[in-house]
Structure 1
Amino acid sequence: MSSLDILIFIAYGLVILLVGNFLHRSKEKENSSSNYFFASNSLPWYLIGTSIIAANISAEQFIGMSGSGYAIGLGIATYEWIAALILIVVAKYFLPILIKNEIYTMPQFMAYRYDNRIKTILAVFWIALFVLVNITSILYLGALTIKILLDIPLIWAIVGLAVFTLLYSVFNGLKAIASTDIIQVFFLVSGGLMTTYLALNATSDGNGIIEGFKIIANEAPEKLHMIIKSSDPNFTYLPGWRAIFGGIWIAGIYYFGANQYIIQKALGAKNLREAQRGMAFAGFLKVLIPLIVVVPGIAAFVLDAKIDTPDGAYPWLLNTFIPSGFKGFIFAALIAAIVSSLSAIINSTSTIFTMDIYKNFFHKTASEKQLVKTGRLSGVLAMIIAASVAPLLGRVEQAFQFIQEFTGMLSPGITAIFILGLFWKKTTSNAAFFGIIISLPASIFLKFVFPAMPFLDKMLCAFLFTSFFMVVWSLLEGRMKTYPKAINVDKRMFKTDRVFNMVSIGIFIMLLALYIVFW
């Protein structure tokens, strides 16, 4: 990177820090746990939508999905495009129940609907997952990219990302994070589009992006299909039509409906209407994301990128085709994606620890000031632990992949108890408790007995088995009676306003057109 690139990147960093601190609340509000963790329920739709995208898109998308675009093609966009529909479903059917019952954390929901056993188990699980998998992997992948571009030691890149994230997020709370995310998403989207333009323009030898698309269609037509055939070696990652209608919905409902650092944005909304519109806006942005993170990887394939692994596609594009000045802006976009995700996960980690563990088990009468202080300290501690573990990922890649797969083994069970808890009044606490326990052996059984089965199919099967187990247990235990802690659901709760409906229909039409063109 040139001096101009570094100057642009430093300017970005200063803007983020200045804006984050400018949005710092008054001392009175600063000591409010409601403001720190949930923005005092004041977030409008546009902050919710951009903050969800900022939390969702990180180095895993820029580096990982570009690599998948290089290796698999446009089919990997299924994860983004189906996510747009899942956001609509969560907004319409899940949010009304959560907001009406004043649910602010997922462990809180587990205690509200079931009991404290499940709440405590999942609170500990989510904290461990966020710190040891999510934050750690984002730090490592982000630092790896910084190491390549700036030629600095990996450990200092990790420390730099950790400190920068803490400076603007851990002291300011959700409102400042969500407000600053507008700037982060601006860098993320504009920088990503710039990379796509320059990559396609390079593909056409300077003849523009339309010509670049034509060349990709002519030279690599196999990369422009959404439906992977069973004969394709990538079928195990995206099993044809089942990738659209199967296990991806289990993963998506867990991620966007029961994942604290995503759903917390919507739960901090002014009201239900703003929350739903915000998630619909996030769904619209998800439709655009493959243009930013997948198409550059396909272009790198056509350009015959000199890389050792597919994940090197995006850094290769930055080093090869991005001119001075633009490189600094795009690098800022990549860092924006990384830091915004880190800040969201740190905030949610501290929220769960403070509200579901510290307040309940260690200090039930804690003051607002003590809760905010605990949230900040737990956020700093989480980052220190993650930063300490992150360098190890370079040496224990297989162990890291195992952790990721282990997470996927548990998500079907969590999704089952979440959905049944919301919509089936007969679900009992014991059914949920043993359901979450039985889901892991079910996933392990599928992994070793059916090793050739695509991972998304395994998730669907594990979800169906766990759900069936819970239904049978609940019927036997409850003798067909409604469980006392069941949530009352009225179909009138799911009525949505015209704006939400129009955006939802627009998203569906766009996705239908995309799948018709690229099926």
Structure 2
Amino acid sequence: MAVETLDDLDTRLGAGDIVAVIVYFVAVVCVGLWAMRRSNRGTVSGFFLAGRTMIWLPVGASLFVSNIGSEHFIGLAGSGAAGGIGVGAWEFNALMLLQLLGWIFVPVYIACGTTTMPQWLRKRFGGQRLRVMFAILSLVLYVMIKLSVNLYSGALFIEQSLGWNMYLSIAILLILTAIVTITGGLAAVIYTDTLQAVLMVLGAVALMIVSMIRVGGWGGLREQFMQAMPNITKDYIHAQQFNLSMDNYTEQYGKCGIPSDDSFVMLREINDPQMPWLGFLLGQTPASIWYWCTDQVIVQRALAAKNLDHARGATLMAGFIKILPMFMMVVPGMVSRILFPNQVACADPATCLEVCGNSHGCTNIAYPKLVLGVMPVGARGIMMAVMVAALMSDLDSIYNSASTIFTIDIWQRMRPRAGNRELMIVGRVIMLILTVVSILWVPILMASSGAQLFIYCMMMIQEICDYLVPAIAAIFLVGVFWKRCNEMGAFWGLMGGVVIGLVRTILVFLYEGVRCGDHAEVEPPGFVSLHYMYYALIIFVSTIILTVVISLLTQPLPEYFTVRTTYWTYMNGSIRDDDVKMWNKLEQLQEEEGAKDDKIQDDEVVMVENEQPWYKRLFVWYCGFNEKTKEPVEKPDDFKARLRTLEQEPLIRVLLNILLVCILSIGIFCYVYFSVRP
């Protein structure tokens, strides 16, 4: 069935759409204020881990939306428009790796009492260099990669839908996100994420239904996608069929608009340039393990759960929701190509530059173009709110997690006598600094040409991550499963893996990719041409080999370093030697700080009651400094309470394991079903 294209349709938001966006902003602020009143914001555990009191439902929602940023709507839909369903493999991979987090890593993290991932490295291996190196690397990845990609995709959607000044629009979104995150901590982030998850799923599913009806369902999609080509490609095919002459420009770029024959195959041949099945399963999976099992943004939410049952329930819930992005993001991108072939599927540089300012292609406008083209007034505003929700959920997650790492792993190392109040101030100041840095990033990104901007963002989020993070995943896996691994092996293994990744990163920048139809001035060596997923596998294996060899050639760690820090020992009830020393020192420091805080708090009470003006009282409340709750002084046997949170009721354990089998079976089935050629 033929579908009328909508290339010339006017796609701007109306007054009803703007009202829908405003209602969303008001709802977010209200939820944030409610979370502020409900949560304890005055202690490290309360601010950074929501007091470890969250139930599975909001934690699961937060796990989902912390991953689904605006770059997912732009990137998944754009990749779907360009190459078909292959990109959906990341989502099915995620639903299984979430269970690796819940069943393997979370019990270890809870048992050893870790707040941050660098902190686990310190407990597992001793020393400080691994902890500091990982903390710095994480912060660099957050600022250089995650913030950049989120800001780009958010700015792109605002430009397509509103035509507003992108710098001002993004700055407003950043400030609103910071207001909720800085004051409310992780509890506010999780509660607002829950609201955003509901809006995101309902809105995206509605768009999926409308768009699929537009093309006649799955059968219509499969038929029409293979014919969704721009005019220059149709001219090229027509000339080829009838042996007609064509101009050089059409001959050079016309073939670039032809959809891939594998558009409806997910995992493809091992030499496929986009989705080689072997490279994805063995190379991309380690990089994904870093994100889902060792990245602070994700793990911090699981650690906020009140016990292991709720943490595993949350990963199961997030896993079931992760089935949806394939259908509510990738498929709509493919529909967008059908409806807007001359814009979304543009093949020649001149047309693409005119359409979206990116001579390499315009598939990145697929999702916003579809939203504004097929949704009615009011509904378009809701979808705009969905995109804003995706952007804000990612940003608040980055702010909170980066602040946690800096405060716990860097500031406390520089200021070991820092009290609870100081840590709360530092955590909020870091969020403020990140907000300023984010705002400053916008004009830098916007100053780049459209093509370079697109290349930078897509390369950052996919390839560069795969060059740096497999080494991190290797260290965590070896550390969790192999007790003999020591600090020397872990550190130099990580260093070796990162260096191997940096070499490839530099070479990729030197040999910039060439658009379809063009020819490279200098052919890159085979080392650079190797698919990045296979190179990620090389990094992963090399790191493991280095770690194992160096660990075996050097002295083993004292036995207590493996107490409650590996999968095999997380229920160990022994008291660690280093914890006794730390607890004695911490108790002394907290007693000193307690006396000082009591005096400060008493003085503030008098000032609040007698002297402070209303705006100072508001500031004290806003930052949570008037909270009466103090950080409890840890005792050597506190780990026993943590171990009790790992105990499961038999019925609940059986139910969770049944659901685990279900979600893993669904993931495997989806891989097989969508990888069989139609």
Question: What TM-score, normalized by structure 1, do the two folds share?
Answer: 0.92
How many Å separate the matches in 2 of 1:510 and 1:302? Answer: 29
Partner of 1:380: 432
Task: Say whether the 8 Å CA contact 1:223–1:298 is kept in structure 2.
Answer: no
Q: 1:345 to 1:510 in 2, by over 3 A?
A: same
| Partner SS for 1:490 | coil
Q: 127, 130, 134: which one pairs with 1:122?
A: 134
Q: How many angstroms does 1:49 deviate by?
A: 0.7
Partner of 1:36: 47
Q: How many angstroms does 1:366 deviate by?
A: 2.6
Is it true that 1:226 corresponds to 2:262 in the alignment?
Answer: no
How many Å separate the matches in 2 of 1:429 and 1:295? Answer: 46
Paired residues in the alignment total 508
Is it true that 1:438 corresponds to 2:496 in the alignment?
Answer: yes
Is it true that 1:48 corresponds to 2:48 in the alignment?
Answer: no
Equivalence map 1:324-403=2 (5 Å): 324-362=377-415, 364-394=416-446, 395=448, 397=453, 403=460
| Partner SS for 1:485 | helix
How many Å separate the matches in 1 of 2:458 and 2:333? Answer: 22
Q: How many angstroms does 1:154 deviate by?
A: 1.6
Task: Say whether the 8 Å CA contact 2:145–2:460 is kept in structure 1.
Answer: yes
Range with greater deviation from structure 2 (263-272 or 497-506): 497-506
Gaps of 5+ in 1: none
Task: Say whether the 8 Å CA contact 2:112–2:570 is kept in structure 1.
Answer: no
Is it true that 1:275 corresponds to 2:311 in the alignment?
Answer: yes
How far does the alpha carbon of each residue in 1:58-82 deviate from its partner, in whole angstroms, 9 at most, with x for none? Answer: 1111001100111121111100001
Task: Say whether the 8 Å CA contact 1:139–1:387 is kept in structure 2.
Answer: no
Partner of 1:150: 162
How far does the alpha carbon of each residue in 1:452-510 deviate from its partner, in whole angstroms, 9 at most, with x for none? Answer: 2221111111100110011001001137x876523354389699712221222221232
How far does the alpha carbon of each residue in 1:306-342 deviate from its partner, in whole angstroms, 9 at most, with x for none? Answer: 2332111111112221211110111111111110111
Q: 634, 654, 667: which one pairs with 1:498?
A: 654
How many Å separate the matches in 2 of 1:436 and 1:341? Answer: 27
Partner of 1:485: 561
Q: 193, 198, 202: which one pairs with 1:190?
A: 202
How many Å separate the matches in 2 of 1:445 and 1:188? Answer: 39
Equivalence map 1:125-274=2 (5 Å): 125-204=137-216, 209=217, 212-213=220-221, 215-216=223-224, 222-229=262-269, 235-243=272-280, 245-274=281-310
* Larger helix share, 1 or 2: 1
Gaps of 5+ in 2: 1-12, 228-258, 345-351, 353-361, 508-525, 572-645
- Name the aligned partner's letter for residue 54 of structure 1: V
Partner of 1:410: 468
How many Å separate the matches in 2 of 1:435 and 1:343? Answer: 32
Task: Say whether the 8 Å CA contact 1:230–1:240 is kept in structure 2.
Answer: yes
- Name the aligned partner's letter for residue 214 of structure 2: A
Q: 322, 327, 331: which one pairs with 1:286?
A: 322
Partner of 2:367: 314
* Percent pairwise identity: 28
Q: How many angstroms does 1:210 deviate by?
A: 5.5
- Name the aligned partner's letter for residue 414 of structure 2: F
How many Å separate the matches in 2 of 1:6 and 1:109? Answer: 46
Q: 1:41 to 1:216 in 2, by over 3 A?
A: farther
- Name the aligned partner's letter for residue 510 of structure 1: I
Task: Say whether the 8 Å CA contact 1:147–1:153 is kept in structure 2.
Answer: yes
Q: How many angstroms does 1:218 deviate by?
A: 7.7
Q: 1:492 to 1:467 in 2, by over 3 A?
A: closer
Is it true that 1:464 corresponds to 2:541 in the alignment?
Answer: yes
How many Å separate the matches in 1 of 2:569 and 2:399? Answer: 36
| Partner SS for 1:261 | helix
Q: How many angstroms does 1:127 deviate by?
A: 1.4
Partner of 1:94: 105
How many Å separate the matches in 1 of 2:408 and 2:496? Answer: 28
Range with greater deviation from structure 2 (509-518 or 311-320): 509-518
Q: 1:270 to 1:465 in 2, by over 3 A?
A: same
Q: 1, 7, 12: which one pairs with 2:24?
A: 12
Q: 1:482 to 1:489 in 2, by over 3 A?
A: farther
Structure index of larger Rg: 2
How many Å separate the matches in 2 of 1:440 and 1:367? Answer: 35
Q: 1:509 to 1:217 in 2, by over 3 A?
A: farther
Task: Say whether the 8 Å CA contact 1:416–1:467 is kept in structure 2.
Answer: yes
Task: Say whether the 8 Å CA contact 1:84–1:286 is kept in structure 2.
Answer: yes
Q: How many angstroms does 1:26 deviate by?
A: 6.4
* Superposed structure 1 runs of 4+ greater than 3 Å apart: 209-222, 398-407, 444-449, 481-484, 487-496
| Partner SS for 2:105 | helix
How far does the alpha carbon of each residue in 1:48-107 deviate from its partner, in whole angstroms, 9 at most, with x for none? Answer: 110011110011110011001111211111000011111111211111111111111011
Q: How many angstroms does 1:413 deviate by?
A: 1.2
Range with greater deviation from structure 2 (316-325 or 44-53): 316-325
Range with greater deviation from structure 2 (340-349 or 416-425): 416-425
